[in-house]
Amino acid sequence: MIQPFHLAIPVQNLEKCRTFYRDILNCIEGRSTEQWVDFNFFGHQLVIHQKKDFQPTTSITNPVDGHDVPVPHFGVILTWEDWHSLADRLKALHTKFEIEPCIRFKGKVGEQATMFFKDPENNALEFKTFKDMSQIFAK
């Protein structure tokens, strides 16, 4: 069993981000106060902390396989079927993608389907999948 990670991120608008993670990504909400909300982020613990003076910044990018990947970013590796379901749902919701759902490293070690988009506070997220999960850490 993989141990769940814990990630806490700052946000200015707690309610806007709460709606995004709950209603767009379908994360189950856990404990909360007026300043923070816990989410079950695909089996991991994500906490959004309201910081009214937080200034979201423009992320930098790093070239990867012909795309400008936003850095920093976070996300999860889904099953092939779940990734495609999420990509289809996000497209239907007219999500603005930083990198449209695509296959990266096609025909190479580590071939994967990936997509990047941002939450309402400019935090970059990546969701990816591998047809062959043994490729996750392959060299």
Q: Please give the average per-residue pLDDT across 17-44, as a whole number.
A: 97
Higher pLDDT, residue 115 or 53:
115
CATH superfamily of 6-50: 2,3-Dihydroxybiphenyl 1,2-Dioxygenase, domain 1 (3.10.180.10)
pLDDT at 59 over 80: no
Tell me, what's the pLDDT at 52?
A: 84
According to CATH, where is 3.10.180.10 located in the chain?
6-50, 60-135
Q: What is the CA radius of gyration of the chain?
A: 15
Task: Return the minimum-mean-pLDDT range out of 13-17, 81-85, 105-109.
Answer: 105-109
pLDDT above 70: residue 123? yes
pTM of the model: 0.92
Q: How far apart are CA 24 and CA 18, in angstroms?
A: 10
**Per-residue model confidence (pLDDT) at position 103:** 95
Interior/surface letters 18-29, b for 16+ CB within 10 angstroms, e for the rest: bebbeebbebee
CATH 3.30.1300.10, applies to 60-135: no
